[in-house]
Amino acid sequence: MRLILIILFLLIFFIISIPLFAIEFIMGKFNYRAKVASSQKIVCGAFHVVLFIAGVKRTVVGVENVPKDEPVLYVSNHRSYFDIPISYVSLPTLTGFIAKKEIGKVPILRTWMKNLQCLFLDRQDIRQGMKTILKAIEQVKEGYSIFISPEGTRNQEKEMLPFKEGSFKVAEKTGCAIVPVALTNTDEVFEKHLPWIKPAKVVIEFGKPIYPKELDADTKKHLGAHVQGIIKEMLDKNQSLV
């Protein structure tokens, strides 16, 4: 029943998105950043409805750790399709996600994601992947945060997949802070009950910001493993909250 209700809501949202796109387009002609902020509010509102229908009880920890006056690189583990809505409604900054290119083929969704400064990554094409990272670097310089999951794909195993070091180039090249993000129990909503959606308690924790320039040479060399270790500590700690 929850899955059917979510599908019905998304169909309605996609229909009303058409006139909303026209409004956002006009707004962007006068103030592009206002358009991005408006789009994020609209999408977050839709995500709040989806999470309510799904019965997700969300605990947010450490949001005060996120710098509010500068863009950051959010780095998280990835366990569920619900990671994006849970993360988006918890973020305090204007943020674009880096998503796999296949998502960019979905009409309506693709337009909203472009409005939100999201980028599409081709994991099979190294050259195109580098272009995406370079675009992300430019967006951080323009004042927009970036959210990435360096495992590269959803992972329901107990241990995280190795983090791809290229994901951290955004912070290394811009000097922005890396904010570790730990998502706990998000796969309990859907992936563990396919094809059904079940109510679940989830935790999202934002760790303290990490500035690459302040790290020693050895830690910089293994930045992915360093950040992954911090996320693992948060995940272990937050198991008691679900």
**Structure confidence at residue 100 (pLDDT):** 85
Class of CATH domain 2-241: alpha beta
Our CA angle for 191, 99, 242, nearest 5°, is: 35
Instruction: Say what the pLDDT of residue 242 is.
Output: 83
E-only strand ranges, the chain: 56-61, 72-76, 95-100, 119-121, 145-148, 177-184, 200-206
pLDDT in tens, 90-123: 999 999 999 888 888 888 999 999 999 999 988 7
**For the chain, what is the mean pLDDT?**
93
Question: Exposed e or buried b for every residue in 115-129, given b needs 16+ CB within 10 A?
Answer: bbbbbbbeeeeeeeb
**Alpha carbon 84 to its chain's center:** 5
Q: Which helix (H) or strand (E) holds 161?
A: none
3-state secondary structure of 68: coil
Q: What is the mean pLDDT of the segment spanning 124-152?
A: 90
Rounded mean pLDDT, 134-163 = 87
- Reported confidence tier of residue 9, pLDDT bands at 50, 70, 90: very high
Ordered by start, the domain boundaries in the chain are 2-241
Is the pLDDT at 15 greater than 70? The verdict is: yes
pLDDT, tens digit (0-9, with 9 covering 90-100), for 37-80: 999 999 999 999 999 999 999 999 999 999 989 999 999 999 89
Give the pLDDT confidence score for residue 159 in this predicted structure.
Answer: 77
Hey, what are 76's tokens? Answer: 């998280």
